[in-house]
Amino acid sequence: MRVLVTGAAGRLGRAVSAELADRGVPVTALVVGDVEDVGALRVGRVVVGDARDPEVVADALRGVDAVIHLAALASPEVAAPEVVFATNTQATFVVLNEAGRAGVRRAVVASSLSVTGLPFARSTPRPQPAHLPFDTALPLLIEDPYALSKQVDEATAAMMHRRHGMTAVALRLPFLGDPERLAAHAARLAADPALGASEVWSYLDLRDAARACVLGLTAPAVTGAPVLFVAAPDTLMAAPTADLLAAHLPDVPRRAEFPGRTVPIDLAPGRALLGFTARYPYPVAGLDPPDSGRLVGPPESPRPNPNPLSQERHP
């Protein structure tokens, strides 16, 4: 199997490429600009070009059996609203459509917990979820172009499944980071817990996010175009989840209990379909032992990626 990773030079893209390399899977990376340290990507082939360009994508798909599509503008604030929406939705359409035309039968698309509409909502009073835990039945309260683009991306994945017969998993990812980035985010939330209410204080280590993406390609139970929340099973907060909800989301109906620091997100579908459980919990100061940020369970044996490296540019 050879995998095309779009957005491979980004934070998650690098982690996904490393995860695939550790499994001995050849990777083609599609990046939007020159990468200074190409070797750090641990991929066999680098294609430089725009994921919205069908010719670029078709070239990147040569010899590819599966796709992990990560290329996107990752916030409603990084460009004009129409640019964020158009860029993300066009890239997803082009990548999946060209993949289907090329005979690719397995794809993963990075959606976001932000598709709920809550993290970037600006209306007053701030909207609240219809119920807890977050699940795919939760009504979307979208006010921003990024969340809207992710809703369209999920619909595009479903359409491409029907059009081409590929499986197309959309992963609703929470705040992602390496241990240093998670520590900074945890400090912000500890200082002002209200900041995390719209994302129910969720997070996921980049290494776990990368593994979830790969499982979306390899898990035998996956069919169709499922939409799945994936996150760490706990929150980034020291306070019990019940106390956080009582303080910040007191009027939201609860369909389950959340003992200890349990994250109020339904992670069961991801466990059932992907076999995914986070292995890298973030160690909350004063609560977790010093080594709790390490791998939970036995690590998989890394295997070298023997593929020669090339970098190709498209105008």
pLDDT, averaged in runs of 10, over the chain (315 residues): 96 97 97 76 93 98 98 96 98 99 98 98 95 99 98 99 98 98 98 98 99 98 98 98 98 98 99 98 69 46 36 46
pTM: 0.91
Whether the Cβ atoms of residue 213 and residue 66 lie closer than 8 Å to each other? no
Name the residue among 99, 59, 97, 8 with its Cα closest to residue 313: 59
C-alpha 202/C-alpha 267 separation (Å) is 12
The whole-number pLDDT of residue 286 equals 53
Does the CA dihedral 267-273-275-279 come out positive or negative?
negative
Beta strand residue intervals within the chain, DSSP E: 3-6, 27-31, 45-48, 66-69, 106-112, 167-173, 176-177, 204-205, 227-229, 311-313
Compute the CA torsion angle 42, 170, 160, 214 (nearest 10 deg). Answer: 30
Which structure tokens are listed for 219?
């898990």
Name the residue among 87, 167, 151 with its Cα closest to residue 117: 151
Give start and end residues of each alpha helix (H) in 78-199.
81-101, 145-164, 179-191
C-alpha 139/C-alpha 254 separation (Å) is 15
- Cβ neighbours for 37, distance < 8 A, ≥ 6 positions apart: none
The whole-number pLDDT of residue 285 equals 63
Give start and end residues of each alpha helix (H) in 102-178.
145-164
The whole-number pLDDT of residue 42 equals 86
Question: Which residue has 């910040």 as its token pair?
Answer: 248
C-alpha 37/C-alpha 42 separation (Å) is 10
The whole-number pLDDT of residue 287 equals 60
Whether the Cβ atoms of residue 83 and residue 48 lie closer than 8 Å to each other? no
C-alpha 243/C-alpha 149 separation (Å) is 33
CATH topology of domain 3-121+134-176+204-232+264-280+302-313: Rossmann fold (3.40.50)
